[in-house]
Structure 1
Amino acid sequence: MDNSFSSDESQKIHDITELYSYYKTLSIIAEELEDNSFIPPINEIKDSFDHLMRVFGVKCGFKEKNGNYIQENLDAVFRHVYRATYDLLDYIRIYQKQIIYRKMEGFSRETIVTVFPDYYPTIIPEVEQCLTKIPILKGDKDIGDPDIEKVKEFVSITEKLHEICSLIDQKYPALIEYESKKQSEEQVKEVKQEEFQIMGHKIAYKSAIVGGIIGSGIGAIIAFVLAYLYL
């Protein structure tokens, strides 16, 4: 029983292993983003395992196959892992974009600039640069002629966005605290303004009453004097 691999088969196993290492990294990132499992890449990995077991079934002597059976199944393993990796990359991209933008929606510009000064001048340009590259890399996906270097670049961008998501998560408590404090101060200011306006109305009302009383008194005195003079 010959359980050794040819040089071409060994190279393909090397490529599969490298590609799977990227898939594993992405699966961990995906689990951090969303509790629910994303089924399509999982099914691809299950199918890849089936082809891999066919290879080892021959190498371990459980079945006999001739020709390119081993290479064909190793190629199939690679294709399934390749598709699984791209499925995860696309899935992660959607959630990362939501986290980066939606998490910051509830905060005023003042809060963001004060608590997270790098957000507008540094973080947003980096995010936009990454999001611009992703469609290009997706367009380069070719199951007939897969390019691991393109996968590596895509994974690198995803890891960069993951770092940005983590940074936003770190800043999030401080952002909430500052925004809450700011809103509380604004509410206190509004209450004081309302109290000041009410006080002003009261003063004006009382002044009108006093003025009326004083005016009535002066009028009575003038009438008395005139009546005295002409009697």
Structure 2
Amino acid sequence: MGNIQFSNEETKSLKESTLLYHKVKELMLYAEERDPGKKTFLQPTLELKYAFDHLMRVYAYKFGFKSADAEYVDTNLHKIFGHVYRAGYDSLDYLSIQFRKELLSEAGDFSPETLVKIFPKYYQEVKPDFEIADREISKIRASKDIGDPNADGLIEYVEIVKRLENHLREFDKIKVSLIEYENEQRKRENDSHVREAILIIGAAIIGAIVGVIFV
């Protein structure tokens, strides 16, 4: 069996799919790591499975195991990129949704007063940027063309998700200060309630004593 050969265009296509695959694989692994149940995501995994199937069709043709017309290789190379491309979008969709859930959950543990006092950036920048990101993602998805995939929109999507991740990391760093502030506030409130109770009890005792004296 002789060595197989690829044309310059075929080599370029394989290289693009290979580079994209490694980026998408990292995204998939990271998405699975962020998932509370550490589960494997079915759809991105299936997309990579389909991509591998098309790759094997290319090799089957090149090794002479498959007879087909001249467009067969180009068609399958295009589909390889398309499936890897979709796996990337599926992973990014999950991450963008998961990051929003995490932010709302984390911020929900603290009162608005605490967030304004200790982390004013939350209302000034972080929360608004998540809203901006939603619109940016919607725009990217609307312009996505499965029939003619290219990595530009995917790369832009990756940058948006990284931006959201950075916000979450910043929130995690300030979390200890948020907890400390809320604990201090609760202690002050409890101390205040104790003082009020003491004053009420004291007033009642004094009132009783005065009542006895003047009876």
- The counterpart of 2:43, out of the listed 40, 61, 67, is 40
Q: TM-score, normalised by structure 2?
A: 0.88
CA–CA separation in structure 1 for the residues paired with 2:29 and 2:118? 29
CA–CA separation in structure 2 for the residues paired with 1:54 and 1:199? 89
What is the root-mean-square deviation of aligned Cα atoms in Å? 1.9
Alpha-carbon offset, residue 2 of structure 1: 5.1
Would the aligned equivalents of 2:47 and 2:84 in 1 still touch at CA under 8 Å?
yes
State the identity as a percent: 33
Kindly indicate whether residue 19 of structure 2 is the aligned counterpart of residue 25 of structure 1: no
Cα deviation digits, residues 182-215 of structure 1 (max 9, x gap): 2122112212211211211221122122122xxx
Would the aligned equivalents of 1:22 and 1:155 in 2 still touch at CA under 8 Å?
no
Kindly indicate whether residue 168 of structure 2 is the aligned counterpart of residue 165 of structure 1: yes
Task: Kindly provide the amino acid, as one letter, of the partner of residue 42 in structure 2.
Answer: I
Secondary structure of 2:108's match? coil
Q: TM-score, normalised by structure 1?
A: 0.82
Kindly indicate whether residue 186 of structure 2 is the aligned counterpart of residue 183 of structure 1: yes
Cα separation, partners in 2 of 1:194 and 1:62, compared to 1, 3 Å:
farther
CA–CA separation in structure 2 for the residues paired with 1:12 and 1:154? 22
Would the aligned equivalents of 1:127 and 1:161 in 2 still touch at CA under 8 Å?
yes
Q: 1:73-112 alignment to 2 at 5 Å?
A: 73-112=76-115
**Alignment length (residue pairs):** 211
Task: Kindly provide the amino acid, as one letter, of the partner of residue 75 in structure 1.
Answer: H
List structure 1 runs of 4+ shifted beyond 6 angstroms: none
Secondary structure of 1:145's match? coil
Aligned residue in 2 for 1:8: 9
Larger mean CA deviation between 155-164 and 2-11 belongs to 2-11
Alpha-carbon offset, residue 62 of structure 1: 6.0
Q: 1:118-157 alignment to 2 at 5 Å?
A: 118-157=121-160
Would the aligned equivalents of 1:29 and 1:162 in 2 still touch at CA under 8 Å?
no
CA–CA separation in structure 2 for the residues paired with 1:165 and 1:83? 26
CA–CA separation in structure 2 for the residues paired with 1:114 and 1:5? 62
Task: Kindly provide the amino acid, as one letter, of the partner of residue 50 in structure 1.
Answer: D
CA–CA separation in structure 2 for the residues paired with 1:73 and 1:45? 14
Secondary structure of 1:80's match? helix
Alpha-carbon offset, residue 134 of structure 1: 1.0
Cα separation, partners in 2 of 1:62 and 1:178, compared to 1, 3 Å:
farther
CA–CA separation in structure 2 for the residues paired with 1:169 and 1:85? 26
CA–CA separation in structure 2 for the residues paired with 1:90 and 1:171? 27
Secondary structure of 1:103's match? helix
Alpha-carbon offset, residue 126 of structure 1: 2.1
Bigger-Rg structure (1/2): 1
Would the aligned equivalents of 2:32 and 2:41 in 1 still touch at CA under 8 Å?
no
Secondary structure of 1:63's match? coil
Would the aligned equivalents of 1:55 and 1:74 in 2 still touch at CA under 8 Å?
yes
Aligned residue in 2 for 1:63: 65
Task: Kindly provide the amino acid, as one letter, of the partner of residue 30 in structure 2.
Answer: I
Give structure 1 stretches of 5+ with no counterpart: 213-231
Secondary structure of 2:175's match? helix
Alpha-carbon offset, residue 130 of structure 1: 1.2
Larger mean CA deviation between 47-56 and 15-24 belongs to 15-24
CA–CA separation in structure 1 for the residues paired with 2:23 and 2:131? 23
